């Protein structure tokens, strides 16, 4: 018991060694307790994701600009189908998304999936049958649909977006922006 009291007193000190030990302990707790526990509770290996691109950005509220592309027509979707879809205003770069297991995925849901790239993709489902197809909401990129988005198998699903916390992901992203191409840096416009 004396050891724990001494350790607690040390952690309360206003010193660099105490600060360093506190950071190490926080890292250990987050990495080995918090995230595994959150993964267990949410049913996904990736319970929190940071939006790193503008592919789900809406330049105005709703889906009017999103549906300027014929890609949605190819899947039999129109603007009237968006009523009741979650994330009516999309995502901005830097938003943190809380993710749950991908059960009962339907058209209009936003899923996270392994698209064979460095990081998982987070896009809206436009087809949910034997396999899934997705599309980003940003009207500036809507004429494009990645090949990896057209035939997504069940085992590629990481999870389904539940809610977002706007902007707090910038605390991490700011450190990686310098390595991005100039057109990919900064806020969504």
Position 184 scores a pLDDT of 82
Radius of gyration (C-alpha) of the chain in whole angstroms: 20
**What is the predicted pLDDT for the residue at 187?**
87
| Per-residue pLDDT tens digits of the chain, which is 189 residues long | 899 999 999 999 999 999 999 999 999 999 999 999 999 999 999 999 999 999 999 887 778 888 777 778 888 998 888 888 999 999 999 999 999 999 999 999 999 999 988 889 999 999 999 999 999 888 787 677 888 899 999 999 999 999 999 999 999 999 988 888 888 888 887
pLDDT at res. 64: 81
Residue ranges covered by each domain of the chain: 2-40, 45-184
CATH of the domain spanning 45-184, picked from 3.40.1160.10, 1.10.3720.10, 2.60.40.420, 2.10.109.10: 2.10.109.10
The pLDDT value recorded for residue 117 is 86
Non-local (6+) Cβ contacts of 151 within 8 A are 131, 133
Distance between CA atoms of 4 and 123, rounded to whole angstroms? 47
What DSSP string runs through the chain? -HHHHHHHHHHHS-SHHHHHHHHHHHHHHIIIIIHHHHHHHHTSS-SEEE--SSTTB-SSSSSTTGGGSTHHHHTT--GGGGTT-S-TTB--TT-EEEEE---S--TT-EEEE--SSSS-EEEEEEEESSSEEEE---GGGTT---GGGSSB-GGGEEEEEEEEETTTTHHHHTTTGGGS-GGGSSS--
DSSP β-bridge partners for residue 134: 125
Task: Tell me what pLDDT residue 120 has.
Answer: 94
- CB contact set of 28 (below 8 Å; sequence gap of 6+): none
How confident is the model at residue 44, as a pLDDT?
95
In degrees rounded to 5, what are phi and psi of residue 158? -100, -40
pTM: 0.87
pLDDT at 93: 94
């Amino acid at each position: 018991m004396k050891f724990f009291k001494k350790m607690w007193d040390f952690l309360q000190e206003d010193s660099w060694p105490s600060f360093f030990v506190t950071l190490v302990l926080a890292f250990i707790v987050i990495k080995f307790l918090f995230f595994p526990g959150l993964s267990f509770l949410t049913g996904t290996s990736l319970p929190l994701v940071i939006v790193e691109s503008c592919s789900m950005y809406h330049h105005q509220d709703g889906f009017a600009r999103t549906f300027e592309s014929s890609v949605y027509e190819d899947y039999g979707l129109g603007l009237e189908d968006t009523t009741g879809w979650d994330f009516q205003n999309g995502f901005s770069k830097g938003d943190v998304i809380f993710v749950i297991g991908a059960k009962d995925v339907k058209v209009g849901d936003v899923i996270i999936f392994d698209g064979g790239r460095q990081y998982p993709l987070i896009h809206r489902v436009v087809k949910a049958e034997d396999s899934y197809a997705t599309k980003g909401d940003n009207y500036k990129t809507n004429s494009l649909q990645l090949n990896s988005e057209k035939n997504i198998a069940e085992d590629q699903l990481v999870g389904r977006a539940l809610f977002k916390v706007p902007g707090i992901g910038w605390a991490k992203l700011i450190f990686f922006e310098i390595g991005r191409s100039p057109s990919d840096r900064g806020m969504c416009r």
